[in-house]
Amino acid sequence: MIVATLPPLSERALASELVQYTLTAGSVRFSPVPGLNFAGLGFNGTIPGPLLRVVHGQRLRAKFINKTGQGSTIHWHGMILPNKMDGSEGVTQPAVPPGGSFLYEFSPEPPGTRWYHDHVGDGLLRGLFGMIVVEDPRDQRADAEFALVFHDVPKMATVEPAMMGVGSAPMVDPLGSPELTEMAPDDKMGDEVAFSAHCINGASYPNTKRLAVKVGQHVRLRILNANPTQTRYVRLAGHRLIVTHSDGNPLPAPVEVDALRVGVAERYDAWFEVGAPGAWLLQGLSTDPFAYEQAAVVHTEGMENAPPLSSPQSLEGADYFTYLKAGGTGSAMPPQGVKHYDFILDDGKYGSSRWTINGQTYPNTPRIDVRRNDLVTVRFTNKTDMDHPMHLHGHVFEVTEADGVPLARPLPKDTSLVRANDGTLSWRFRADSPAGRWLLHCHNAIHMMDGMMTEVVYAI
Ligand code: C2O
Ligand code: CU
């Protein structure tokens, strides 16, 4: 069966060996909605930056030129690459100074939907991010494919108060979401960032690019949540979505859902069949009054101006993606690796500027010291009232347990949400990446800047 889907080998051979890009980071005046004039930063003049594509097996050479006026780097999120190409400021390289440049060169591994972003200061918040697709020649062919970056324009003045734990921005998760149902009614939020516009690929509805499809097509969506702090639920009206990849990595089995639940920095590949002519909205769901802006019309020929079918801004009654749905319930708790770590995620109380791992903030957090080929397990326990999208650089780990339930089929990922209020999540990974220092952190920009970070360090 796998053999039948393999394209001829010549296709890979035809590809040129080296793909070269120049990525220049600089100021961008970003106005996705009338009246908004965001002082952003972007790669090659756009937010998000250009969609980069390479075929698995090709080498990528990306010349980075920094014209932002501040230090910057490019981190290749989800890639296993030489440590010095990882773009972690202060860990794998110093920040590229204003006016400076840096040559990133590596063979992108593994194939799949990945992304790239600044890893210094507020660059990611201000727009320095983009998607990179490493095409897998063994993948099932899509009749049409769309790469979609869901992103939002932060109110930069709310970032500092959120870091101090005294912000006043509300939660905007949709009704029926675990984020809302888990909140105690008297809970005082101090850590949310507010947003002034919601976008897909650099535009807000109704100015988002229309996605033209044909009846009978099997369509692939590659979806990234580039919001710096919020989980995003994504739904295509009138369709079920078949999820095949998490963070670019093939799932053990496809899973069919009404909606995706995409944590900060997560990616999902989801497919749908076009069964009949029509026009439907692909939407990011939230209770923000401007949530409708994060939508794009999917339409068949001649239906581009038909009023599109939409979904309510609610998850009530919707069957959305969870790790448990994708992995199934296992019979036994996963065994611990030769190196096992228990990480308690805590603090972030109202008025606190600390988000901690085992009571400490980076760089005083406990680090994971590994030797080549160690099997490492990490179990997170979340004592806070917010989910944490925990990310590991330079590796693909497997999620083996969530909230006390072992998964029958572990999920290959690089970022995974640890549920609030005593939620747990377990990872397993092999220390077989290039040697060096690999960051492990919460991808909520506020939590990361407030210390929820550590490192996996190889003793060579
Ligand atoms: Cu998306 Cu430290 O990375
Ligand atoms: Cu967090």
Q: How far is the CA of 443 from the centre of ligand 2 (A)?
A: 6
Q: What are phi and psi of 453, to 5 degrees?
A: -155, 150
Q: How far is the CA of 131 from the centre of ligand 2 (A)?
A: 22
pLDDT score, position 186: 64
Instruction: Tell me the average confidence (pLDDT) per consecutive run of 10 residues in the chain, 460 residues long.
Output: 41 69 98 96 98 96 98 98 98 98 98 98 97 95 97 97 92 88 75 96 98 98 98 98 98 97 98 98 95 97 96 95 97 92 95 96 98 97 96 98 97 98 97 98 97 95
pLDDT score, position 149: 98
Q: How far is the CA of 216 from the centre of ligand 1 (A)?
A: 38
Q: What is the pTM for the complete model shown?
A: 0.95
Q: How far is the CA of 247 from the centre of ligand 1 (A)?
A: 13
* Ligand 1, atom nearest to 393 Cα: 2
Interval 139-154: pLDDT, tens: 999 999 999 999 999 9
* Residue nearest atom 1 of ligand 1, based on CA coordinates: 77
* Ligand 1, atom nearest to 415 Cα: 1
* Residue nearest atom 3 of ligand 1, based on CA coordinates: 77
Q: How far is the CA of 454 from the centre of ligand 2 (A)?
A: 13
pLDDT score, position 394: 98
pLDDT score, position 185: 64
What structural domains does the chain harbor?
2-137 (2.60.40.420), 153-321 (2.60.40.420), 339-459 (2.60.40.420)
The ligand whose atoms approach the alpha carbon of 230 most closely is 2
Q: How far is the CA of 209 from the centre of ligand 1 (A)?
A: 28
Ligand 1 surroundings by CB, under 6 angstroms:
75, 77, 117, 119, 265, 391, 393, 439, 441, 443
Edge-to-edge strands, sheet with 368-371: 368-371, 453-459, 437-442, 388-392, 415-418
* Ligand 1, atom nearest to 77 Cα: 1
Cα torsion 308, 312, 316, 322: sign: positive
The ligand whose atoms approach the alpha carbon of 445 most closely is 2
